[in-house]
Structure 1
Amino acid sequence: MIRVGFIVNGAKKQSERALNTIELAQKSPRLEVEVATTEYPRHAIELAKNWSKSKQVLIAVGGDGTCNEVLNGWHQTQPECCAIGVLPDGTGNDFQRMLNPFDPRVFVYNLEALNVKQVDYGLVEMNSGERVFLNIADLGFGAKVVQLLERQRNKGLRGKLSYSMAIVRAFLSYRKRKVQLLLNGESWEGKALLIAFCNGRDFGYGLTIHPEASLNSGDLGITIVGDVSLLTYASKLGDLKNGRHIRHKQLTYASASDIEFQDLHPTLHMEVDGELVTDQVKRLRVISNKLPLIY
C-alpha cells in the first residue's frame, strides 16, 4: 500500500471538493491514508518534516501558503522516496493554474499509480538561512501588499476585496527602491516597483506576471516592473488576467537560474508564495528537476 499523508490548512473550512477527494483516497484499497490538520502558523512545516521519512506522498490541502509550508518541511529533510501532492483548497490557488484542472478521481488515480512528474522549485538564501518556494517570490511591492493583507486579515478582512484594498493602500504608501542584481552573472540596476521571480506564472488571484514561466525550464522567469503608477497598473489588469505579454517601457522580462542581490535597502522585503520574508535576501537559485510532484 502507498502511504499518503494529507496536511490540511486548519485556518480555513474545507471545501466539498477537498472533503470528497480525501474520502475517495481513504476508500482506496491501494492507499494507506492519514490526515492531519494544522493548528498554528508554520505547523505544516513541522508535519511535513515528521512525515517525510515515513510517507510516500505528502499532500498539501489548502492554498499556495500551505503548499509552501509543506514544500519547506520536505526540503529540510530531503527525503529520497517521498513526493508532494497538491490538492487546491485556498482562496487564490494561483499555483494550481499551472497544472491540469483539478479532478478528484484523476488525482486519486495518480496517487494509486504514483504518477510523479519531476519539476523545479526555487531556493531563497537569506542572512539567517534559506527558504524554498514552488510558485513565485516577489521583491518589493508584493511584499508590502502581503504585509497589508496580514494586517487586514487580523481585522477580519479576507478574499479578493481585501486584496484590492491592499493593492491601493500599497500604491499610496510604498516607496520604490533602487535594486542591483546579478542575473547569471550579468548586472542589472534600476529603480523598481516590484521584481517577480517566477517558477509558476500566476499570482494575486490569477494575474499572469510571467506568461512563459515553466516548472521544468531550469530557470526562473523574471519580471521587473519599474516606475509605474496605479493608473498604469489598473490599465494593464486585463492583459495580466488574460496571460498576455505586456509591452511597456517600464516592464522587462528575463530569465535566470541564479540571481544575486547587492546592497539591498534594509526595508526592501520579499514575499514567497504569499508569505512575508523580512530577513535580508542574498541570493535566489533554481533547484532543477528535483521535486517529485503529483497533481
Structure 2
Amino acid sequence: MERLFIVNEHAGKGKTKKRWPMIQRHLDTFGIRYDARFTSKPKEAIEIAKKAVHHYSQLIAVGGDGTVNEVVNGIAGQGTLFGLMPTGTGNDLARTLHIPDDPYLAVRCLANGTHHPMDLLDINGFYVAGAIGIGLDGAVATDINLASWKKKTGTVGYILSMLKLLLTFPPFAVSLQIDDQAFFFPNCWLVAIGNSKYYGGGMKICPQAVNNDGVLDLCVVHNLSRIELLKIFPSVFHGMHVLHPNVLCFQGKKVRVTTERPVPIHGDGEILGNTPSVIVVRPHILNVLFGS
C-alpha cells in the first residue's frame, strides 16, 4: 500500500470525525488506495509516522496544525512524501501549501498536486513547519492550551487571549545572535521566527518568509506601549505590521535567543518550553505535496 492517512478525529472541534467519511468517499472517487490509522492521544502521530516510513511512500495528516507537526516530526529527513487534509481550526500549513479546506478539492490536490522540498525549523531537535513565537504570543499559546474552548475557536480564541494578555504580560529584554550578528532589545514584546508566513489561523507574522529558501525569517516587536501594540495588532492579518518602525525583520540560518527571564515559546501553537533557545533552519528536509 502506497499511502497511509494518519487521522486525528478530535481535531477541529470534531470536524475531522465528521469529515473523514466524506474524505473516504472522495478517495474512492479518485481511485486512491490507502490505509488509515487513528490517533487516540497526544504525540501518538509521531510514533505512527516513524514506523510507517518503512512501509509507505506517502503519509497524509488528517487534522489541524498540531497533527501536522506530529506527522512532520515522524518523517522529516526520511524522503517520505508528506500530504495533508486540513480539518483543524487554524490550518496554517494548508494555507501555505494551497491545500483547500473543501474535502473534495483537497483530495483532488492529493491526486493531482505537485511535490517540492520544504525547509523546517529545528528547535532542540523538534521540527516546526510554520513559525515559532517567543514572548507575548508564547504566553497567548499557553493560555489557549489551558482553556480548551479557546483552542477550539481558532483565530477567535487567539484574539481573546491576546487581548487578555496585553493587559498583564510584561515586556522583556532579549539578546539575539543571528548567525554572526548580535542584537539587544531591552523592551521586547515578542520574537517570531518564521519558516512560513502564517500562524495563529492566518496571521502573516513573517510575510516575507518562504519555506524552501534555506533561511529563517525573524520579526521582532519592541519598544511599544500597550496601546500602540493594540493598535497595530489587526494589521498582522495582512502582514502590514512590518511597516511600523518598531517592528524589525531579519533573516538568517541560526538564531540564539537569550532573555532576562524565561519566557514561553510555542511552535505552530504547541508549547515548546521557555527561553533560552537555539533555532536552526534545516533546508529541504521534508518532501511536501502542494496544491495548485
| Pairwise same-fold verdict (TM > 0.5) | yes
Return 5+ residue gaps in structure 2 as ranges.
none
Aligned length: 285
SS at match of 1:178: strand
Match of 1:96 in 2: 94
What is the CA-CA distance between 1:97 and the residue it aligns to?
2.1
Checking the alignment, whether the CA contact within 8 Å between 1:124 and 1:281 is kept in structure 2 is: no
2:201 matches 1:205: yes
Q: 2-side partners of 1:156 and 1:291: how far apart? A: 27
Q: What letter matches 1:23 in structure 2?
A: R
Q: 2-side partners of 1:110 and 1:248: how far apart? A: 38
Match of 2:230 in 1: 234
Match of 1:249 in 2: 245
Are residues 162 and 183 of structure 1, via their aligned partners in 2, closer, same or farther at CA, if it must alter by over 3 Å? same
Larger displacement relative to structure 2 (250-259 or 231-240): 231-240
What is the CA-CA distance between 1:252 and the residue it aligns to?
0.2
SS at match of 2:214: coil
Q: 1-side partners of 2:153 and 2:110: how far apart? A: 32
Checking the alignment, whether the CA contact within 8 Å between 1:168 and 1:230 is kept in structure 2 is: no
SS at match of 1:255: strand
Larger displacement relative to structure 2 (50-59 or 238-247): 238-247
Match among 14, 25, 30 for residue 27 of structure 2:
25
What is the CA-CA distance between 1:164 and the residue it aligns to?
2.4
Are residues 117 and 104 of structure 1, via their aligned partners in 2, closer, same or farther at CA, if it must alter by over 3 Å? farther
Give per-residue Cα distances to partners, 1:87-130, cap 9 Å, x unaligned.
111111122222225165564455446732111111112xxxx2
Q: 1-side partners of 2:176 and 2:242: how far apart? A: 22
SS at match of 1:87: strand
Are residues 286 and 96 of structure 1, via their aligned partners in 2, closer, same or farther at CA, if it must alter by over 3 Å? same
Checking the alignment, whether the CA contact within 8 Å between 1:4 and 1:32 is kept in structure 2 is: yes
Match of 2:148 in 1: 153
Match of 2:4 in 1: 5
Give per-residue Cα distances to partners, 1:165-206, cap 9 Å, x unaligned.
211222222122211111111101113111000011122222
Checking the alignment, whether the CA contact within 8 Å between 2:6 and 2:45 is kept in structure 1 is: yes
Return 5+ residue gaps in structure 1 as ranges.
none
Match of 1:224 in 2: 220
Q: 2-side partners of 1:97 and 1:5: how far apart? A: 22
Match among 167, 173, 176 for residue 171 of structure 2:
176
Equivalent residue runs for 1:1-295 within 5 Å: 3-12=2-11, 13-15=14-16, 19-29=21-31, 31-75=32-76, 78-80=77-79, 82-102=80-100, 104=103, 107-112=106-111, 115-125=114-124, 130-153=125-148, 158-191=153-186, 192-244=188-240, 246-262=242-258, 264-265=259-260, 267-278=262-273, 280-295=275-290
Root-mean-square deviation over aligned CA pairs: 2.5
Q: 2-side partners of 1:50 and 1:260: how far apart? A: 32
What is the CA-CA distance between 1:44 and the residue it aligns to?
1.2
Q: 1-side partners of 2:191 and 2:122: how far apart? A: 16
Q: 1-side partners of 2:116 and 2:145: how far apart? A: 33
Q: What letter matches 2:68 in structure 1?
A: C
What is the CA-CA distance between 1:268 and the residue it aligns to?
1.5
